[in-house]
Structure 1
Amino acid sequence: MRVLGVDPGLTRCGVGVVEGLPGRPCRLLHVEVIRTDPDADLATRLLAVSDGITAALTAWRPEQVAVERVFSQNNVGTVIGTAQASGVALLTAARAGLPVVTYTPSEVKAAVTGSGTADKAQVTAMVTKLLQLKVAPRPADAADALALAICHVWKGGTQARIAAAIQAAKTAQTAARQAQTGVRR
């Protein structure tokens, strides 16, 4: 499974692409931070975020996208910018026809470190270890984007397999009932 992770931000938006399977090590394919000028027009900044995500989608062809779910912070201005960048990420992925999943920061931290209260340094250290990188991804937005992608490979891949197994069981049950009652399609 190839996943693009997005750590949304208006000034710095982390984008990372990993490939892997649930329960197996992931492989880093790409990581970057899309930066926008805080003095630029809001629409121009949002367009730059969209263009950067679109470029990553085009170049790396992920199967799914994972975006960090916006959470309330003390700084309302920051949360608004993050929410706007998150909306752009969701829209850009949807326009590309890709399934998009959101994860809370604590879900991502728990997936990669084992603790939902891990700090940024712990997340960066674990991402570096899990991807067997020689150098830690910097800034933290880059590591967070990779953590989101890893989280989705592990959690989302497992959830998708469970959903497929449930659907297959339902289909088999329906076919068995139809065979018993003589109903044919």
Structure 2
Amino acid sequence: MRVLGVDPGLTRCGIAVVDGGTGRKVSCVAVDTVRTPVDADLAERLLKVSDAVEGWLDLHKPDVVAVERVFSQYNVQTAMGTAQAGGVVAVAAARRGLKVEFHTPSEVKAAVTGSGRADKAQVTAMVMRLLKLQEKPGTADAADALALAICHIWRAPMRTRLAEAEQRAAELAKVHKARLAEARKAKGVTR
């Protein structure tokens, strides 16, 4: 499985591609940080993020895109910009028919470090260790993008199995409900 991981942001947007092998084996294909000027117009900044993501999607051909979910931050303006950048990424993936999965920061931290409260340095250190990188990724945002991709690779099989189990349970419940209705009808019970 090849995953494009994106840590969305307007000033710095981490972007990475990770391949997942059998078991928990992962390898880094590419990693970078897309930067936009703080004083540029919002639309121009979003376009730059979009262009970069589109280029990576075309070049690396991922199977799925993993994006950090924005759910709360202290600075509302920062949260809005992050959410807008994440939306641009989702649209670019959707145009190509790619599935987009969102992961919370604590979910990503727990997946790569074992603790949902790990700090940026711990995440970076574990990403380097897991991917056998000799150098730190250029920015914490780039390390976070790698962590997002790793998280998705490791959690996707479990999510798939859970979804399949939920679907089977819903089908069984439907069959059971139909049998109960038939039994009630046969006994002349209405309800």
TM (norm. structure 2) is 0.83
Quick one: which amino acid aligns to residue 121 of structure 2? A
* Counterpart for residue 73 of structure 2: 73
For residue 156 of structure 1, report the CA deviation from its aligned partner.
1.1
* Counterpart for residue 45 of structure 1: 45
Residue 153 of structure 1 pairs with residue 134 of structure 2: no
Once residues 121 and 47 of structure 2 are traced to their aligned partners in structure 1, the CA distance between those partners, rounded to angstroms, is 30
Tell which structure's C-alpha radius of gyration is larger. Answer: 2
In structure 2, do the counterparts of structure 1 residues 104 and 68 end up closer, same or farther at CA, with 3 Å as the change threshold? same
Aligned partners of 1:32 and 1:142 also within 8 Å: yes
Once residues 17 and 107 of structure 1 are traced to their aligned partners in structure 2, the CA distance between those partners, rounded to angstroms, is 19
Once residues 165 and 20 of structure 1 are traced to their aligned partners in structure 2, the CA distance between those partners, rounded to angstroms, is 24
Once residues 148 and 29 of structure 1 are traced to their aligned partners in structure 2, the CA distance between those partners, rounded to angstroms, is 14
Matches within 5 A, 1:57-136: 57-136=57-136
Q: Which runs of 5+ in 1 are unaligned?
A: 172-185
Aligned residue-pair number: 171
Once residues 80 and 140 of structure 2 are traced to their aligned partners in structure 1, the CA distance between those partners, rounded to angstroms, is 20
For residue 91 of structure 1, report the CA deviation from its aligned partner.
1.1
* Counterpart for residue 2 of structure 2: 2
In structure 2, do the counterparts of structure 1 residues 170 and 71 end up closer, same or farther at CA, with 3 Å as the change threshold? closer
Q: Which runs of 5+ in 2 are unaligned?
A: 172-191
Range with bigger deviation, 141-150 or 70-79? 70-79
For residue 22 of structure 1, report the CA deviation from its aligned partner.
6.3
Quick one: which amino acid aligns to residue 11 of structure 1? T
For residue 167 of structure 1, report the CA deviation from its aligned partner.
6.8
For residue 41 of structure 1, report the CA deviation from its aligned partner.
1.0
Quick one: which amino acid aligns to residue 123 of structure 1? V
Paired residue secondary structure (2:115): coil
Aligned partners of 1:67 and 1:86 also within 8 Å: yes
Aligned partners of 1:12 and 1:36 also within 8 Å: yes
For residue 165 of structure 1, report the CA deviation from its aligned partner.
7.6
Paired residue secondary structure (2:34): strand
Quick one: which amino acid aligns to residue 116 of structure 2? G
Aligned partners of 1:12 and 1:33 also within 8 Å: yes
For residue 71 of structure 1, report the CA deviation from its aligned partner.
2.4
* Counterpart for residue 29 of structure 1: 29
TM (norm. structure 1) is 0.86
Aligned partners of 1:22 and 1:157 also within 8 Å: no
Once residues 59 and 149 of structure 2 are traced to their aligned partners in structure 1, the CA distance between those partners, rounded to angstroms, is 16
Aligned partners of 1:22 and 1:153 also within 8 Å: no
Once residues 162 and 72 of structure 2 are traced to their aligned partners in structure 1, the CA distance between those partners, rounded to angstroms, is 31
Range with bigger deviation, 116-125 or 162-171? 162-171
Quick one: which amino acid aligns to residue 5 of structure 2? G
Range with bigger deviation, 157-166 or 119-128? 157-166
Once residues 30 and 132 of structure 2 are traced to their aligned partners in structure 1, the CA distance between those partners, rounded to angstroms, is 14
Range with bigger deviation, 16-25 or 26-35? 16-25
Question: Which consecutive segments of 4 or more residues in structure 1 shift more than 3 A?
Answer: 161-171
In structure 2, do the counterparts of structure 1 residues 74 and 167 end up closer, same or farther at CA, with 3 Å as the change threshold? closer
Paired residue secondary structure (1:57): helix
Q: Percent identity?
A: 62
For residue 23 of structure 1, report the CA deviation from its aligned partner.
3.3
Once residues 42 and 104 of structure 2 are traced to their aligned partners in structure 1, the CA distance between those partners, rounded to angstroms, is 25
